[in-house]
Structure 1
Amino acid sequence: MKIIKRLLKIVFTLIGVFVLIGIITLWVDSIGTNYLKVNHNDPTSNNSYLITHVNVIPMNRDTVLVDKMVYIKEGIIEKIADNIEVSGIQIFDAENKYLTPGLIDMHVHVWDRYELGLYLSNGVTAVRNLWGMPMHLRIKEDVIHGNIISPTFFTTGPKLTGSEFIGDDNLNLTNPSEAKEKVLSYKERGYDFIKTYYGLDKEIFDAIIEQAKIYEIDIVAHPSQKVSFSYHLNPQIKSIEHVEEIVQQPLKFDLDKSKLQSILDSISQSKHTSYCPTITVFNNIYQMMINDSILDSESLGYMNPLIKKVDSKNQFERWFNAKQEDPATIERIKEQHDFHITIVKKLHEAGVTIICGTDAGIGVTLPGFSIHKELAFYKEAGLSNYEALKTATVNASQAHSIMSQLGTVEEGKIANLLLVDKNPLVELSSLENPIYVFVKGRKLNRETLNSYNEKAKNRKNLIASALRYLENLIIEK
């Protein structure tokens, strides 16, 4: 008995040590992102001022409002006019630069707070995180209460999947009652949306939709192969993710334009559903296949180290092996990517609302930087600069009612804005390095934004990231 007591004491001591180490690790990691904490005594935190001599691109129509004044009051656009008289307030001379809405990435996977700075540095002032975990609720709370400098933050709950096991990152549902319980739980805990994923049969899917409608929570759908593709056009589903799902499911990998049209027609008739193409993440499969040293590239230093070590590596090895077994795979992936461009072109021509999303944060798809690549693909698909920019501004803001205060430069909207050198309606690439980024009126200059990149690059928080992921597995399973 004494031996058992001693063994138990040793076990509990070791558990205590591991818990203490974990707490210290997470604390040290949190210190690493202190640069994002809001210092309310800092004069640069002022979110009330008058912008003068600015060319406004409102994005509620295709125009430029030349040489305007914009009054920002407590983070809200109070007034836009030729002349505004207001006393006792800071004047910010924009020197005839261009003011646009901040960009919105509608499909991201956030792994740590360093990534919040990367999004801001690239002009992304709002994100829709589609892989919800407890850490995302903490980020959301800090953003809401103004504790951190961050893009406006929205998140789904954990991915709702059918009963087949396809990875420990999915919540496998076995019956409709369980599905309804999860929808209610995620709503009560503060998640903004429900994300549906693979393997949901009609009975379980119906339960999710029914409960989501009752509790007024929107659904974002990664299509399930257990129901018809048209099933995802339900009014409760506000966006469908990934153009490759059109290829994989209704087309069954047949890149036939004639078969494509009927699918696009059905989507266009569903006025309540947007489409989020995420062309970039699929194209990055091709990039991995033609660049054997991509994992060692300097840009991969911006990826979360846990994702880089596990997901980026696994994806690279999968496609490296595929091309070794069949070199024709490279051309097949390139042909499918080109067909994705065609799908976006046809979606746009059919009048489907396209919202910009990149699937950033997984594989080799970089947080923040990837949105500019995605917008360039939309332009390649035939969208004008204005139409491409709409996908990451006004279109995105209209996908969900809770995002309606974003997406345009209008009176009453949140001052999530970019100041850029050149007119992006002429030169879309001007969005890549904004001179200033405004988040709820807070001005961030290029020097500050560059420092966010530097602090995130080659960060050493693999263990802290693993602990947060472990927390998710313990709580959500």
Structure 2
Amino acid sequence: MKRLFKIVLAFIGVMVITAIITILVDSQKTSYLHVNKNEPTFNDSYLITNANIIPMHKDTVLKNKMVHIKKGIITKIADTINVDNVKIFSANNKYLMPGLIDMHVHVWDKYELGLYLANGVTTVRNLWGMPMHMRIKNDIVNNAIFSPLFFTTGPKLTGSEFIGDDNLNLTSPNEAKKKVISYKNRGYDFIKTYYGLDKNIFDAVIEQAEISGMDIVAHPSQKVPFSYHLHPQIKSIEHAEEIVQQPLQFKLDTVKLKPIINSISISKHTSYCPTITVFNNIYQMMINDSILDSESLNYINPLIRKVDSKNQFNRWFNAKQNDSTVVSRIKNQHDFHLTIVKKLHEAGVNIICGTDAGIGVTVPGFSIHKELKFYKEAGLTNYEVLKTATANVSTTHKIMKALGTIEEGKIANLLVLDNNPLISLSTLENPTYVFIKGRKLNRATLKRFKEKAKGRKNLMASALRYLENLILKK
């Protein structure tokens, strides 16, 4: 028996060592994101000259301006700025605008951080918190890696009914309060409430979140009325599809939609994050039987591609085999989501851009350009579209108020673009430079970030990190 025990112990030891080595090797492969502060190219202070500024707090272009960035913060904007001992960067009459913000993502590895930057996304709000995300946050806070600013919820909170191991099941109001306190202490930024949360537990989460000073991001729960999600502590509601699936009960009825939109607009503290792209990708999976082999999916984490992408494709492939009308129903619902966006905008609701990137076939970084095009299709002007991914965010969460516009005192997350995005949104897809907290990345570096993420082989490392989450999320 002792010999057997020693063998088991030795086996466990080998497995632990193998896991550690796997994680370390994968971490080393993302060393291209590391910031070497000893290099002469490292700088978070610049004087930008010859810039056509799109400030995003108003619909205008400020021609031929200078911007002084000191230690990652915009300190002055003027026609002429005289300052000594600072690196000068000429924008060469290109366009300078705030970096894009994706308010609904699921990050699976550091490779994705480079993908976001390469697509002009300088801030993300991660809505599926895990232990690995706290390590990422720590690296970013310490300026150890090039990355978008990173905000994250804790694990998704749901009720006692098991709906997947990716959620944390709460069984009592007391437990719910303890989890909110725990997530606050661990350093998570927000609380995410999810499908299946009943009234008593939901009340406890809201009460404790208010005491702990944590904003709530709500994926609507079907166990409470939709209007329940308009509580002042809930700062954003996710997914246009949830309006269709819950209060409208799948009826694409604009008459019944109107009072729902009105109720959201009256709630001035609540932003709406439509995530049009992720639902549209259901339609894309049903009309393209080869989508899993598409080049774009090489940018998705291999564990997600092998499990979630495949499972989602199979689900909808089988659905259309069993009922040929499901394809048109999904397309019609997608079109109705555009109507929802249009009505939300007309009612004055603060719309924030989110894509649900990182799951299914929704590719991190690239997806934001698709999302913005859908808002344009819904009838928003280019300026109004851009606001959803910039200025609108600064009014959603207090901890993000220093983002989204080019103004003195704001964080220097900036894009340098060849053309005016107020005329052509497509120019956002290939920024010439990206400034992240005042640090400049050129197009060659951004291209390298894409290349490094494409076809990466970190399935096992990703599986180990997810296993860590299953063990520690309690």
TM class by shorter chain equals over 0.9
- Counterpart residue type for residue 41 of structure 1: N
Measured in 2, the distance between the counterparts of 1:87 and 1:175 equals: 61
Q: Which runs of 5 or more structure 1 residues have no equivalent in the other structure?
A: none
Indicate whether 1:225 and 2:222 are aligned.
yes
Indicate whether 1:436 and 2:433 are aligned.
yes
Report the alpha carbon displacement of residue 428 of structure 1 after superposing the two structures with TM. 1.1
Alignment of 1:57-72 (within 5 A): 57-72=54-69
Report the alpha carbon displacement of residue 43 of structure 1 after superposing the two structures with TM. 1.9
Decide which of 292, 295, 299 is 2:296's aligned counterpart: 299
Indicate whether 1:372 and 2:369 are aligned.
yes
Indicate whether 1:352 and 2:349 are aligned.
yes
Q: 2:252 matched to which residue of 1?
A: 255
Decide which of 339, 342, 346 is 1:342's aligned counterpart: 339
Q: 2:379 matched to which residue of 1?
A: 382
Report the alpha carbon displacement of residue 433 of structure 1 after superposing the two structures with TM. 0.5
Alignment of 1:12-31 (within 5 A): 12-31=9-28
Identity over aligned residues, as a percent?
76
Q: 2:453 matched to which residue of 1?
A: 456
Decide which of 75, 78, 88 is 1:78's aligned counterpart: 75
Report the alpha carbon displacement of residue 88 of structure 1 after superposing the two structures with TM. 2.2
- Counterpart residue type for residue 463 of structure 2: A
Partner of 2:222, secondary structure, is coil
Q: 1:287 matched to which residue of 2?
A: 284
Measured in 2, the distance between the counterparts of 1:271 and 1:44 equals: 44
Decide which of 411, 416, 420 is 1:414's aligned counterpart: 411
Measured in 2, the distance between the counterparts of 1:196 and 1:344 equals: 22
Decide which of 440, 463, 468 is 2:465's aligned counterpart: 468
Report the alpha carbon displacement of residue 397 of structure 1 after superposing the two structures with TM. 2.1
Measured in 2, the distance between the counterparts of 1:96 and 1:305 equals: 41
- Counterpart residue type for residue 13 of structure 2: G
Decide which of 316, 325, 328 is 1:319's aligned counterpart: 316
Q: 2:118 matched to which residue of 1?
A: 121
- Counterpart residue type for residue 167 of structure 2: N
Decide which of 175, 191, 200 is 2:188's aligned counterpart: 191
TM-score after normalising by structure 2: 1.00
Measured in 1, the distance between the counterparts of 2:100 and 2:66 equals: 21
Bigger drift between 123-132 and 141-150 goes to 141-150
Q: How many residues align?
A: 474
Partner of 1:96, secondary structure, is coil
- Counterpart residue type for residue 155 of structure 1: T
- Counterpart residue type for residue 22 of structure 1: A
Decide which of 102, 107, 126 is 1:105's aligned counterpart: 102
Report the alpha carbon displacement of residue 476 of structure 1 after superposing the two structures with TM. 1.2
- Counterpart residue type for residue 110 of structure 1: V
- Counterpart residue type for residue 70 of structure 2: K
The 8 Å contact of residues 359 and 365 in structure 1, kept in 2 or not, is answered as: yes
Q: 1:392 matched to which residue of 2?
A: 389
Q: 1:213 matched to which residue of 2?
A: 210
Measured in 2, the distance between the counterparts of 1:398 and 1:302 equals: 32
The 8 Å contact of residues 195 and 222 in structure 1, kept in 2 or not, is answered as: yes
Residue-by-residue CA offset, 1:108-136 (whole Å, 9 max, x unaligned): 00000000000000000000000000000
TM-score after normalising by structure 1: 0.99
Measured in 2, the distance between the counterparts of 1:277 and 1:89 equals: 42
The 8 Å contact of residues 420 and 430 in structure 1, kept in 2 or not, is answered as: yes
Q: 2:327 matched to which residue of 1?
A: 330
Indicate whether 1:90 and 2:87 are aligned.
yes
Which portions of structure 1, spanning 4 or more consecutive aligned residues, are displaced by more than 3 angstroms? none
Measured in 1, the distance between the counterparts of 2:48 and 2:253 equals: 51
Report the alpha carbon displacement of residue 90 of structure 1 after superposing the two structures with TM. 1.5
Indicate whether 1:405 and 2:399 are aligned.
no
Partner of 2:94, secondary structure, is strand
Measured in 2, the distance between the counterparts of 1:49 and 1:283 equals: 41
The 8 Å contact of residues 184 and 211 in structure 1, kept in 2 or not, is answered as: yes
Decide which of 275, 280, 284 is 1:278's aligned counterpart: 275
Measured in 2, the distance between the counterparts of 1:26 and 1:98 equals: 40
Q: 1:169 matched to which residue of 2?
A: 166
Q: Which runs of 5 or more structure 2 residues have no equivalent in the other structure?
A: none
Measured in 2, the distance between the counterparts of 1:163 and 1:248 equals: 22
Measured in 2, the distance between the counterparts of 1:311 and 1:42 equals: 40
The 8 Å contact of residues 44 and 442 in structure 1, kept in 2 or not, is answered as: no
Partner of 2:416, secondary structure, is strand
Measured in 2, the distance between the counterparts of 1:476 and 1:389 equals: 36
The 8 Å contact of residues 187 and 217 in structure 1, kept in 2 or not, is answered as: yes
Partner of 1:253, secondary structure, is coil
Residue-by-residue CA offset, 1:341-398 (whole Å, 9 max, x unaligned): 0000000001100000000000000000000000000000000000000000010122
Measured in 1, the distance between the counterparts of 2:110 and 2:473 equals: 21
Partner of 2:415, secondary structure, is strand
